[in-house]
A and B are shown apart, each in its own frame.
Chain A
């Protein structure tokens, strides 16, 4: 596609429910990132996928959070047993890994998650 696509754009859920967020990266981009942004805060790194390499999960805040990516396409971020502190905007970004460090991330519009 022309840009990074995320769905749903908004998600309201009840505490304790599981949610699944989807990200469709720019075609040809091998790297995909998930970030969390709480209201008025900066971006908090969650997880990074690069091609077929093992993902960097170092930013996942707890074992309730997991993410998958099939090849170099769609990724899903799953939050189990949601808590109110999970309320945030979840941003996905993709980049095309080139030579050296000339990689630029392009962001999707985000999913605004509200846990009641």
Chain B
């Protein structure tokens, strides 16, 4: 069973701070890694994708992947109240199948 683990939170950070979200996965053969944001009552929307070890930056978001340790993280700089949502980590395997964590709820306090 391929598993993706996330801390359910809630993670509370003050506005302007850095929010750090973490995810671990069980399948060493995993090929692709994604972070989705899901607002309450809405469908997931893609924030970041990462495929190789290291950091990938896009605006205020940085995804970090460490395949040796089997973890992927998402950093949100200068957090805004509008970033308050549930963040889902997803991992893709060789067969184009994806496994989702249960999500971390982020609360950014004004």
Contact = CB atoms under 8 A, between A and B. Distances in A.
A20 interface: no
Contact of B51 (A35, A48, A50, A101): A101
Interface residues of B, number: 24
A104 interface: yes
Interface of A is mostly: loop
Interface string A70-112: 0000000000000000000001000101001111111111100
Chain A interface size band reads 20 to 34
B96 A97 contact: yes
A104 B96 contact: no
B108 interface: no
Contacts of B100: 35, 42-43, 45
| Residue of A97, A101, A103, A108 with highest tally of chain B CB at under 10 A | A101
A29 to B, nearest CB: 11
A65 interface: no
Contacts of A50: 96
Given A42-B103, A43-B88, A105 B98 contact: yes
B102 A41 contact: yes
A95 B96 contact: yes
Nearest to B46: A104
B60 interface: no
Interface of A: 31, 33, 35, 41-43, 45, 48, 50, 56, 91, 95, 97, 100-110
25 contacts: A31-B96, A41-B102, A42-B100, A43-B88, A43-B100, A45-B97, A45-B99, A45-B100, A56-B95, A91-B43, A91-B44, A100-B51, A101-B51, A101-B94, A101-B96, A102-B32, A103-B32, A104-B34, A104-B49, A105-B34, A105-B90, A107-B43, A107-B44, A109-B42, A109-B43
